[in-house]
Amino acid sequence: MLIAVNAGNSHVLLGGYEEDEQVFVASIATEPKQTGDFYAYSLQQIFGLHGVEAKRIEGAVVSSVVPAMTPVLECALRLLGVNDVIEVSSGVKTRLNIRSEQPRQVGSDRVAGAVAARAKGRLPCVAVSLGTATTFTVLDETGALVGSAITAGVRLSLAALREQAAQLPAVAIDGADGGVLARNTADAMRVGAVYGAAAMVDGMIERFAEALGQTPYVVVTGGAAPLVAPHLRVPHEYDKNLVLDGLHLIWKRNRT
């Protein structure tokens, strides 16, 4: 079994793969100040919950946008007896042509997402990740990564608004199903956050289409995607496991 690990700013996502089949997905909180021992215990509990014995795990592939988490997670995996660990960084085979002035600064989660998006075979493509940050990763008709965009995510934008505007209340983002015509302040904040994010994605895809010279295939992922995706007007596919699947592919390209 392979364990794919994607450490984001808020959560660490885990995926277990046997052959080409994903057998479980789980998540735990990202806590950079914790130790390898703590995460080894957490991982052991998750594996037990899903009926996975550590001795079945042949290796792991780790992506992290939180630098301090990488050695902690690798230590945790090795404490559980997983010694073959790949960190997605420069030198790892991805078969992805990154046309960037600073290829090493492209986040490993975005690289993994781009690898999975390219494997779908529908190019050009834009992978949209709606997480702590909202990111756009643009692949051209050859599958090369030719452009990016990064902005604050839905929840981060809402938190910044609340902190800077004294009279606005704290609200939970649980969708904006009441429609775009909000009738109170809390709903107005939800509408602004959710519909605003959807409108931004629609607008960015339109601009990417102009730059590419053709309409791209759009795949959406990330923790906030279930909130925003239903309000998108552009045709798209929602793939919650895009990054984990990309990590699985990267593992195969480096170990087979």
Known catalytic residues are: 109
213 sits in the region (left: phi over 0; alpha: psi -120 to 50; else beta) called: left
Alpha helix stretches (DSSP H) within 57-184: 69-79, 108-119, 154-164
C-alpha to C-alpha distance for 183 and 177, rounded to whole angstroms? 13
Three-state secondary structure string covering 142-155: CCCEEEEEEEECHH
Residue (of 139, 152, 99) closest to 246 by Cα position: 139
In the chain, the DSSP E strands lie at: 2-7, 11-18, 21-29, 59-64, 85-87, 125-130, 133-139, 145-152, 217-221, 237-238
Check residue 78 and report its DSSP letter.
Answer: H
Cβ atoms of 252 and 239 closer than 8 Å: no
Is residue 226 within 8 A of residue 193, CB to CB? The reply is: no
